[in-house]
């Protein structure tokens, strides 16, 4: 599995992505295209695709530094965030302990800006926990969940079908699964023989369609700032599934 998500520079990019303010990501003195503002707050927006009601247990797979896990806890009785990266999970736990996490935003070459990440107010911390683990090999006794969220995870897995095959046992009857994927299949993460043979949505339907009803399909853009002048602007395909 790729070690990229243990890298301190990538950790800093994700702290900015999940917890940075609009001003820290897109400073006001530049006339950024409007679409860049629309791509902010991805880790919040994906969780808004669950239905309006309150729910029981939630699971956030590939949670990174945890923002979407916290957001799910607004309407779930408890949410577990799982990520393979020790660095990401350690940082999500520090934020849970109320710590202010210092990180460095790279602007250009040796020019950097020191920033801090902290949890927004209003979360009940006892409703959230984090585990380092492998989404393709979840503990057999993890139980069932009413909501499962996996954003930008499946095309980072070495064998995504292992997770797709696990979803029917992971999501309780009537429960919801929110999957987002930019469909950026790359050999560095997934061997080509494990990529969808064609269209990613058709492949998802083929694997999930028996146990789940596809409720909704939409696109969510996201923006990851690498430097003051270089950003990843990407459109993630978001699907919502209901367990039959």
User: Which chain residues interact with ligand SAM by CB under 6 A?
Assistant: 1, 5, 17, 43, 62-64, 82-85, 88, 134-136, 151-153, 156-157
> Smaller CB distance to ligand SAM: residue 55 or 180?
180
Residue 209 CB, nearest distance to ligand SAM (Å)?
24
On whether the CB atoms of residues 233 and 223 are closer than 8 A, the answer is yes
Nearer to ligand SAM, 7 or 108 (CB): 7
Of 108 and 219, which has the nearer Cβ to ligand SAM? 219
Closest contact distance (angstroms) between CB of 117 and ligand SAM is 13
Nearer to ligand SAM, 29 or 67 (CB): 67
CB of 44 to ligand SAM, least distance (A): 11
| Minimum CB distance to ligand SAM, residue 151 (Å) | 4
Of 145 and 173, the one with the shorter C-beta distance to ligand SAM is 145
Distance CA 110, CA 105 (A): 11
The CB-of-61 to ligand SAM minimum distance in angstroms stands at: 6
Nearer to ligand SAM, 55 or 151 (CB): 151
Minimum distance, C-beta of residue 157 to ligand SAM, in the bound complex (Å)? 5
Nearer to ligand SAM, 19 or 212 (CB): 19
44-50-56-59 Cα dihedral, nearest 10 degrees:
-60
Question: Cα–Cα distance between 193 and 172 in angstroms, integer?
Answer: 31
Q: Which residue is nearest to ligand SAM (CB)?
A: 62
What is the Rg, in whole angstroms, of the alpha carbon atoms belonging to the chain?
A: 18
Retrieve residue 241's tokens: 């599934």
Residues 6+ apart with CB under 8 A from 196: 185, 202, 203, 204
Residue 34 beta carbon to ligand SAM: minimum distance, rounded to whole angstroms: 22
């Amino acid at each position: 599995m790729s070690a990229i998500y243990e890298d301190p520079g990538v950790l800093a990019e994700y702290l900015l992505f999940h917890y940075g303010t609009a001003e820290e990501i897109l400073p006001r003195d530049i006339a950024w295209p409007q679409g860049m503002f629309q791509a902010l707050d991805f880790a919040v927006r994906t969780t808004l695709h669950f239905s309006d009601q309150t729910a029981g247990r939630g699971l956030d797979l590939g949670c990174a530094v945890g923002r979407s896990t916290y957001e799910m806890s607004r309407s779930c009785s408890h949410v577990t965030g799982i990520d393979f990266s020790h660095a990401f999970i350690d940082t999500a736990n520090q934020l849970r302990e109320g710590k202010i996490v210092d990180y460095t935003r790279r602007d250009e070459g040796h020019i950097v800006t020191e920033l801090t990440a902290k949890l927004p107010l209003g979360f009940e911390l006892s409703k959230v926990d984090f585990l380092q683990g492998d989404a393709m090999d979840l503990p057999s006794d993890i139980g069932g969940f009413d909501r499962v969220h996996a954003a930008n995870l499946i095309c980072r897995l070495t064998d995504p079908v292992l997770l797709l095959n696990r979803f029917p046992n992971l999501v309780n009857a009537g429960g919801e699964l929110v999957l987002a994927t930019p469909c950026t299949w790359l050999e560095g993460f997934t061997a080509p023989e494990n990529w969808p043979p064609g269209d990613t949505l058709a492949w998802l339907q083929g694997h999930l369609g028996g146990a789940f009803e596809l409720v909704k399909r939409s696109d969510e853009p996201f923006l990851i700032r690498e430097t003051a002048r270089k950003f990843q602007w990407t459109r993630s395909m978001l699907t919502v599934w209901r367990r039959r």
